Amino acid sequence: MAALLLALLAPLCPAGNDGARASEPSTTQTVPFVEWDKTAGTLTFKYGYKPTDDPATSSDREYFDVDAPYDVSPAWTSAFAGQDAVKKVIFDESFKDFRPTTCRGWFRSGFYLQFIEGMENLNTSNVTDMGLMFYGCSNLSTIYVSDAFTTDEVNNGNMFFGCQKLVVAVKYQGDDSRYANYEDGYFTKKVGTNG
């Protein structure tokens, strides 16, 4: 019965250039995505052709859409929990071509997160919300940024809540967003990229 129903509905579903239905992830378009490597304990932000999840062949990797809608935290923050918790986040060089509009909760509850690498590949020029971005990252000691990381005209409430291990220009004083800079705040200047 299900096969008959699918056969009847198939002509009604529009297909893209590759014949994939709208509900299937496309591997023919470049998109922003996050790759969770459970074995390495890393989350890598990339911009390119997103692989499809195949539990039979890739149980150690999971993929998330960066542009998927969410309220407080994106789906990939589930990688910050449990015994396989992410300890390192990487922004691949390919990600520099993407301009997100929100970074809200991107690393929220990253209790075991120790390193963020490649933040110079995160261009925040179009971002309007960084609230809760590093919320609960209690083991993160350094956040290196370049001039591409801007926080002007951005909602960044509770951006650094619980980040008391940050080694920065000023002693941790709570989560006040005025410290979202490398001159007198919680970020560290990425030498060689800021001039």
Nearest one of 114, 99, 108 to 45, comparing CA atoms: 99
pLDDT tens digits along 70-117: 988 999 999 998 877 899 999 999 999 999 999 999 999 999 999 999
Predicted TM-score of the model (pTM): 0.79
Beta bridge partners of 34: 45, 64
Q: pLDDT class for 1, splitting at 50, 70, 90?
A: very low
Q: Which amino acid is it at 33?
A: F
Instruction: Encode pLDDT of 45-69 as tens digits.
Output: 999 999 886 666 567 889 999 999 9
Backbone angles phi, psi at 155, to 5 degrees: -75, 115
Confidence of residue 8 (pLDDT cuts 50, 70, 90): very low
25 — phi, psi (to 5°)? -65, 140
Q: 137-189, pLDDT tens digit by residue? A: 999 999 888 777 777 778 888 899 998 898 776 776 666 667 777 777 778 87
